[in-house]
Chains A and B, each alone.
Chain A
Amino acid sequence: QKEVEQNSGPLSVPEGAIASLNCTYSDRGSQSFFWYRQYSGKSPELIMFIYSNGDKEDGRFTAQLNKASQYVSLLIRDSQPSDSATYLCAVNPHYKLSFGAGTTVTVRA
């Protein structure tokens, strides 16, 4: 079983729509959860982190965490072409990140 699994994608959404990204993790001791965005050939960039159950909103991004279900998600509202990238879910069970394989999102203009 992989430590972090993401919906495989690729995910194509029209401009202005909501993109929904899902992630599950195996280590119940995980306490912190991150979403990184990576443009092709560029460095991963942290866009959201969440530590507590529930929702956390930052601009057009909302992270959702359910520790009982070992599930974390990212919603991108009003998707823009500039949101086209690979989104990496990362979990930090022992002070080192475990990454999912990433979900590639394409926003169609």
Chain B
Amino acid sequence: EAGVTQFPSHSVIEKGQTVTLRCDPISGHDNLYWYRRVMGKEIKFLLHFVKESKQDESGMPNNRFLAERTGGTYSTLKVQPAELEDSGVYFCASSQGVTGELFFGEGSRLTVL
């Protein structure tokens, strides 16, 4: 069974540019989460989808971040325009139920110059 896959693994962009991160959850997992780890800090919750609906987006930093989950399958996280403080590793995770038993992807490392 394929795990959670994320693309790209690493992205380097200039401040003000746009980046879109993609996550493919484990097949059949209705719950999809985005988390972020900035340098030296804890992994922080960004948002939670159940199928195609946003259940909780309380962790999204500001309106420069837009997450979508079309058809309840893969998800994208767009940062537009990117700022220096957006640099970090963005993790996607999925689960069958709403528990803390999550399956994580290997993350997308974003570097904003």
Interface residues of A (CB under 8 A from B): 2, 4, 32-34, 36, 41-46, 49, 88, 90-92, 95-102
Contacts and interface: CB of A to CB of B under 8 A. Distances in A.
Given A44-B43, A96-B48, A49 B100 contact: yes
B113 interface: no
A92 B100 contact: yes
A90 B100 contact: yes
Given A43-B104, A43-B106, A32 B99 contact: yes
17 contacts: A34-B101, A41-B106, A43-B104, A43-B105, A45-B104, A46-B101, A46-B102, A49-B100, A49-B101, A92-B100, A96-B58, A96-B59, A97-B35, A98-B45, A99-B42, A100-B42, A101-B42
Nearest to A34: B100
B44 interface: yes
Interface residues of B, number: 24
Interface in B59-113: 59, 91, 98-107
A44 B42 contact: no
A42 B103 CA distance: 12
B100 A97 contact: yes
Contacts, number: 55
A4 to B, nearest CB: 7
A42 B37 CA distance: 13
A96 B95 CA distance: 12
A34 B100 CA distance: 7
B4 interface: yes
Contact of B45 (A32, A49, A97): A97
A97 B34 CA distance: 11
A41 B103 CA distance: 16
> Quick one: which of B4, B41, B43, B98 has the most chain A CB within 10 A?
B43
Given A41-B106, A43-B91, A99 B43 contact: yes
A36 B4 CA distance: 16
Contact of A97 (B4, B58, B102): B102
Contacts of B59: 96
